[in-house]
Each structure stands twice: as C-alpha cells, then as structure tokens.
Structure 1
C-alpha cells in the first residue's frame, strides 16, 4: 500500500523537528524534505514557508498546502499553484511568542526603557517619572489569530487599548473599530501603534505618509506583521524628522536587511531579524495532522485560507 507523501520546504525551520513531531501524529505519512522528493507526482501535501517561484509546478497532485506561519501572502495568487486548499498554522506557541514580543516592545516604550538605554550609553543617570499604564493609549492594527491575544494581553496589563480590523470585532477590554474613518481616528489618538495586519491587496501600503502624519508627534510604531503594509520610505522620513519618535521593526521589504539601509543609521529604530513569532513543531504538528486527516476524508482543513481575501 502506497503511503501519502508530504514535501517540506523552509529556509529557516528545522525539518528534523517537524518530521519527528508530524510523524508522531501520522505514523503512516511519508515525510520528504525538498529537494529530495522522489517522484513529484506522488506528493499529496506540502508544508512550506516562503517557497521560491515555480516551486509548486513540480507537484501536479497536491491536495493540501499548509503554510508554516500565520501570514500567507507568499502563497495566495501564485501562478504556479493550482487551486487546492491552503491552511495556515495557528498554534499556541506561535501566539505566545507574538504576544510576548508585542508586550516587550510596547512596555519598552511605556516604561521609557529606550531613554534609559541611551542614557546608559552616555554614562548618565537619567530619571524619568513613570506614568500609569491606563494613561497610555495603544492601537493594535489587525485583530486576528495573533492580534487579538496581543491586544487583550495589553488591556489586561492596564493599557488603554484600541483595536482596528477589516471587519468589526468584539474583544473584552479592547475598544474595537473597523473601516477607513475609524483607522484615521485610531492613528490620531494613540501614542503607540502596533501593526499585526495580514498583507492583502487592501492592506498593502495602507500606512503611507498621510496615515503616519495622523499619529501624534513623537509617536511610537511597532511592526511585527509584514513590511509592505507600510510605505518604508515614508516611515524613514517620519523617523528622521521626529514625526514618528521611535520604531521597533521585525519585518522589512528586503530580508536580511541590507547593510546600506537607512534604518541601520537611525538611533530611534530597534531592529529585530524577523523573529517576533515562529512556529513550534511540537505544538503545531497536531493541527497539521488534523488538516491532513480532514482532507483525506474530503473535508476542509483547519484554519483554511480564503484566497480572495488573502488570509
């Protein structure tokens, strides 16, 4: 009896950890790591992260593609992928890591840690009186699988949290809104703004020079979603002028970030190398296995992606 076969591709994830975790859930699964795929026509499933152009052309009999992350912008609207179900990961480890990153970045600004870091480099004892967290308005853009837990955690810490999403959400402790006018209002009212927006045709370039100018002078901006939701040149200009006072950035138009990029020269930018949230195989494998089982039964996978919406 021929076993179902899965091809694994990722430039950053550990295939050994994934093989161990996934085959413990599905012992009958033939786990293959690209490029050692054997006969491509025998591949039924793909578990991938940022596969290169043309990757899927080799596999004519795919039944399911699972993305090794929450953002699926690299999978939708590809010309090498025939219409098959696409699922994204949604594991508690990934959610916890993203929430911890957002809490760190927001708290670093709320407690003036960035000011103390500079003072230490100058060898100065520089006191700034702490502010109560309820005075600090934090806007979270994107209230999906990652954004909603982050927003609610911040609210639980005592921050004044406002959330914005494409469609109206209802989250305890978070003032939720939707629509273009509401986005303008949120940007104008929050001193710290966190982007956890998925990259879709609608969100691409959503935060341009006009939107950044709406934010209070000296506002802090955190991006842990996709770089392309922001006009990078406009953000650089706003950071240079002080219109945006500080930024914590985990995602960039080109990665790794080129050595000559202006972000490296800006003292008011904290750069992290796209690690705000990663998948944890031991926790995520159960969902991947369940999606495969569902597809075998002719059912939709878990966390199915709407290719038209882009998430």
Structure 2
C-alpha cells in the first residue's frame, strides 16, 4: 500500500560516524516546510526521506513511508552494506565541485612521486641536501582505475600535463590521448607498466579487496599507489608488506576500511605512506541539500532522479 505524500515531509539525517547537524538548516532552506530531524530524534513512521552516511543497519527498514534514500557523497556502499536495506530509490551526489577536489588531490599525489617530494621528505629528516634530475612528465605513466565522470576528468587533467595515461574500467571506453583497458583481463596489462596507479573505483563485489598482494605485486618495481576510491578495495597489510620489501615506492591513501584509521595502525608511522583523513573532496552542505530536495520533489512527481543508483551494479 502506497502512503500519501505529506506537503511537509519529515526528513531524517542519520549517520553512525558523522554529526550531520550541519545539514539541518540547509535542508530547511532547500525544502521549505520540511520537518528536518537528526537520528534518532524522529518517529520512524513519519520519515519520507533519509539522508545518510554510514546509517545504522536495519533502521531504514523500519520506515514504512520512506520514499527516498540519499547519500551525502558519491559513494553508496556504506548504505548498501545494510542487509535489511529496503527497496526504495537510492541516490548518490553528483557534484562538479567534488570532482574538481578529487582531481586536485590526485594531481598533487602524482606530482608528489614524480617530482620526488617523497624522497625530499625522507632526506629532510636526515638533513640531506641531494637533488635528482627531474624526469619529464612524458616519460611517466599514470594508471587511472575507474573511468566514470570523476575518473575521466582526472585522466584528462593528467594527459594535459603531459603524462602518459592509461585508464581501466569495467566496460570498454575510448578517451582521446588515453590508452584504455577494460574488464578483469585488462587490469594487469593496464597497471604493469605504470609509475603511479590511482584508484577512483566505486566499491562493488568485484572491487572489494581487489588490490591484494597478487595484484599489487604486478606493479613495476618502484611504482606508487594512490587510493581515493574506497578503503575496502585495498588489502592494506599486503600493501605495507610490498613497501617494506622495497617492491613499491610509496602510497598516498585517503580512504580506509575502518575510518577513522585507528591511532595504533602501522600505516600512520610508515615512512613511505601518506595518510590523509578522507579529505580528497567534500561536498558543500548547500549542494547536498539542494540535490536532496530536488530529488524529493522529483520522487513526488514521478520524474527521473539525479544520481539514481543501479543497485545491481553498485553505482
């Protein structure tokens, strides 16, 4: 039985890891009349839209009037991990500013290794003044794994800086100036000649724990790894082992399987690892509110939703 839509819907902000209070006022501005509440301060029977980041398992299933589930970011795996997730439309953020932030972060990460900033950081600790001749960008190969809208922008930016760029995606794509690979059989051929490999992949059943020792060892000796996709894609202990053995040069990691990364984790102190606190990009609160409000109106009107997720694909 379909419930009538309220002219003043109840919108619930819920997360087990973040205080989403910063979204209350923007949501009230974007959806006038809405009753915007922070979990658990809401009657589950009244909630029509849930805006989430790592919501508590099982809670969404207890909302019979729920019409729409909305992520505050581009990722939705933190929502779909709920085994009791109800069959309601699920949307992720589509945000040009977020894409720009990730592009900037990746460009910095590639330059960090290409221009030997990692070497300079280690030499600084030893008070060593020793510079190496720079290698032209055209002699460096960067692999971009994930050629969605964000990955395509990253690949194009690296290409325009003169790097040799390789791209890998689930299905075949053609990108000007980028050597493209696709499918499971294309992953190793893509990464094995790269100086830096960057993951911008979504988390799916196929990408979970994808970067284990077997795959990472196929990177050329001295290569570096950058992860701005999802922490669950990387077997971190395998990466640290290959760094300790000298097979890999270094890593820049912005996402982790457990966040925040525990203070006693070995990655914090590893000299070849840069740990950042999931900061590659963050969507402006007003943009989250505007898209969520627009999607609510579209859901009410039976119109196509912005950023609607195909659950069977995982993005």
Please give the range of the TM-score, normalised by the shorter of the 2 chains.
over 0.9
1:166 equivalent in structure 2: 170
Q: Alignment partner of 2:78: what SS?
A: coil
Q: Which has the larger displacement, 204-213 or 135-144?
A: 204-213
Report the alpha carbon displacement of residue 185 of structure 1 after superposing the two structures with TM.
0.7
Alignment of 1:36-55 (within 5 A): 36-37=41-42, 39-55=43-59
Identify which of 11, 15, 19 aligns with 2:21.
Answer: 15
CA distance in 1, matches of 2:217, 2:258: 24
1:269 equivalent in structure 2: 273
Q: TM-score scaled to structure 2, two decimals? A: 0.92
Check whether the contact 2:72–2:288 (CA below 8 A) recurs between aligned residues: no
Report the alpha carbon displacement of residue 85 of structure 1 after superposing the two structures with TM.
0.3
Identify which of 284, 287, 299 aligns with 1:283.
Answer: 287
CA distance in 1, matches of 2:133, 2:63: 60
Q: Alignment partner of 2:79: what SS?
A: coil
Q: Which has the larger displacement, 116-125 or 43-52?
A: 116-125
Report the alpha carbon displacement of residue 271 of structure 1 after superposing the two structures with TM.
0.8
1:27 equivalent in structure 2: 32
Name which structure has the greater RCO, CA cutoff 8 Å, separation 6+: 1
Query: Structure 1: where are the runs of 5+ without partners?
Result: none
Alignment of 1:54-133 (within 5 A): 54-76=58-80, 78-133=82-137
Report the alpha carbon displacement of residue 276 of structure 1 after superposing the two structures with TM.
1.4
Q: TM-score scaled to structure 1, two decimals? A: 0.94
Could you report, residue by residue, the CA deviation over 1:112-131 in whole angstroms, capped at 9, with x for unpaired residues?
11111122222221111111
Q: Alignment partner of 1:7: what SS?
A: strand
Query: Structure 2: where are the runs of 5+ without partners?
Result: 1-5
CA distance in 2, matches of 1:177, 1:34: 44
Report the alpha carbon displacement of residue 2 of structure 1 after superposing the two structures with TM.
4.9
CA distance in 1, matches of 2:209, 2:145: 14
Check whether the contact 2:155–2:165 (CA below 8 A) recurs between aligned residues: yes
Identify which of 191, 197, 202 aligns with 2:201.
Answer: 197
Q: Over aligned residues, Cα RMSD in angstroms?
A: 1.7
Q: Alignment partner of 2:45: what SS?
A: helix
2:297 equivalent in structure 1: 293
Report the alpha carbon displacement of residue 9 of structure 1 after superposing the two structures with TM.
1.8
Could you report, residue by residue, the CA deviation over 1:182-222 in whole angstroms, capped at 9, with x for unpaired residues?
21111111010001111101111222222111111011000
Q: Alignment partner of 1:146: what SS?
A: helix
Check whether the contact 1:91–1:280 (CA below 8 A) recurs between aligned residues: no
